Structure 1
Amino acid sequence: MKRKKIANIYLFIVFVILYAPILYLMIYSFNSGGSMHSFEGFTLDWYKEVFDDTRLLIIVLNTLVIALLSAAISTILGVIGAVAIMYVKRRQMKNTLLSLNNVLIVSPDVIIGASFLILFTIVGIKLGFTSVLLSHIAFSVPIVVIMVLPKLQEMGSTLIDAAHDLGASNWDVLTKVVLPFITPGIFAGFFMALTYSLDDFAVTFFVTGNGFSTLSVEIYSRARQGISLSINALSTLLFLFTIVLVIGYYFINQKSSRPKGLGVRK
């Protein structure tokens, strides 16, 4: 009982350390004083300033388009990759592919960003929308693979063998057995890729060009120019949008994993 109490206290302290700065930022986004030294009164002027900024709204649109496109494409590629890894019969080859996939996840973002910058410069791809989209797809695919593989391993080969015994073709097995079974993993991969794309700064900072920016890079650029509570308002909106995505994924995952009732024939 004592260990459980200590564990709960430790967990509480960790959450306070993680969320206290975010809460502080959100509270002062409503400060009429214009600084983060003292809270003088409640106002929505900083949020109004954000929504009145046409350039910022274009950047928000850029961010959403990049996030949705990269998440959708990386989900398709990640599912194909996970299925391919699952059906590799040689254990050594499978472990090698998994290791190569995991390297991109654990590699520092600065290294990945610098590598993409060098690659795009050599190939001749102009820095901007295309370079940011390609880089976001690249670091999102391994995340989708990691999310989908456990569901494939959970399914096993018995279900597939049974479908083949009943006369199903390979395409029927893929579309009517495999994909429906791993749907929760696909949704998890999509939402994780979407969240990573929205929040990414380090990789995007390297591969973005003049005339194109995303929210994370814009927030960093504005913060360097000096303290403005419009940055707080913008960061708050981005954080709340990410929370909505996480909650949406939770409810979709709960609905997908809920066991369906079996009809009893009288």
Structure 2
Amino acid sequence: MRNKLSVSSRLYLTIIFFILYAPIFFLVFYSFNSGGNMNQFEGFTLDWYKELFQDTRLLIIVLNTVVVALLSALVSTIIGVLGAIAIHSVKRSQTQNALLSLNNVLIVSPDVIIGASFLILLTMVGIKLGFYSVLLSHIAFCIPIVVLMVLPKLKEMSPSLVDAARDLGASRLDVLTKVIIPYITPGIFAGFFMALTYSFDDFAVTFFVTGNGFTTLSVEIYSLARRGIALNINALSTLLFLFTMILVIGYYFIAQRNPKGLGVRK
């Protein structure tokens, strides 16, 4: 019975992973097609990759996307960590649940509504649509994600650690920097990478708040796809997929070498 369940489980996982990764491998496969389309593979070529690296405008858009993703992930991680600590420090469970519910509003709300709301707000405030409008919007919807990644680590931490540090004469800053932050470091890294991923992948919100002269990769790919599929987009997507895989593998090996995180400093 166990063997049957094991075989069926493996078969199920194989089917699921095939459904998830087949479109990606299909895209990667045709990025080497000399035929110029995705209907029939005619021969192997690297011309689309050469064309990609010669497209200065597209490379600038990639750089814009990476800069926005890194900055928004960094800022949202700092704010999200402080927000998670603030929510965790609330004594009343009802108030804590209310704050957590408010934090989750941006996660459960449709992206179209969030994008339209940011567009109206930024226009009313007078912020010109472009780099800063995209950055502010990405920071806003990444903060709740970081809070959700960090809060479970705070709940795992024993209150005795903080009490012991205070009994030994540690200040509030020392408790924060030498006890709390080292303990929740895995959650902080998880929140940072989740925010980075969400910012890098976002299309709906960015589509509303981007302006003339500035765009991100998701919006640009959408615009190019409407004109017709070009295989240089396949090449770009392949490189981004490989870059993502390298990051995931690198983070996995770092986690394996430091399974307990940084721990609490002595």
Shift of 1:112: 1.1
List runs of 5+ in structure 1 lacking aligned partners.
262-266
Q: Which residue of 1 aligns with 2:93?
A: 91
- Give the alignment's TM-score, normalised by structure 2: 0.94
Does the Cα contact within 8 Å between 1:187 and 1:253 map onto a contact in 2? no
Q: Which residue of 1 aligns with 2:117?
A: 115
Q: Which residue of 2 aligns with 1:104?
A: 106
Whichever residue aligns with residue 6 of structure 2, its letter is K
Shift of 1:259: 7.4
Q: Which residue of 2 aligns with 1:243?
A: 245
Does the Cα contact within 8 Å between 1:33 and 1:39 map onto a contact in 2? yes
Q: Which residue of 2 aligns with 1:229?
A: 231
RMSD over aligned Cα, in angstroms? 1.6
Whichever residue aligns with residue 179 of structure 1, its letter is I
Name the CA shift for 1:85/1:182 in 2 (closer, same or farther; >3 Å).
same
Q: Which residue of 2 aligns with 1:264?
A: none
Matches within 5 A, 1:106-185: 106-185=108-187
Task: Give the Cα separation in 2 of the matches to 1:59 and 1:231.
Answer: 13
Matches within 5 A, 1:21-32: 21-32=23-34
Q: Which residue of 2 aligns with 1:65?
A: 67
List runs of 5+ in structure 2 lacking aligned partners.
none
Does the Cα contact within 8 Å between 1:184 and 1:257 map onto a contact in 2? no
Q: How many residues align?
A: 261
Task: Give the Cα separation in 1 of the matches to 2:188 and 2:172.
Answer: 20
Does structure 1 residue 54 correspond to structure 2 residue 50?
no
Q: Which stretch shifts more, 97-106 or 212-221?
A: 97-106
Does the Cα contact within 8 Å between 2:185 and 2:261 map onto a contact in 1? no
Q: Which residue of 2 aligns with 1:11?
A: 13
Q: Which stretch shifts more, 19-28 or 247-256?
A: 247-256
Does the Cα contact within 8 Å between 1:128 and 1:211 map onto a contact in 2? yes
Does the Cα contact within 8 Å between 1:195 and 1:245 map onto a contact in 2? no
Name the CA shift for 1:45/1:182 in 2 (closer, same or farther; >3 Å).
same
Whichever residue aligns with residue 191 of structure 2, its letter is G
Identity of aligned residues (%): 75
- Give the alignment's TM-score, normalised by structure 1: 0.94
Does the Cα contact within 8 Å between 2:185 and 2:262 map onto a contact in 1? no
Q: Deviations over 1:35-55 (max 9, x none)?
A: 111111111110111110111
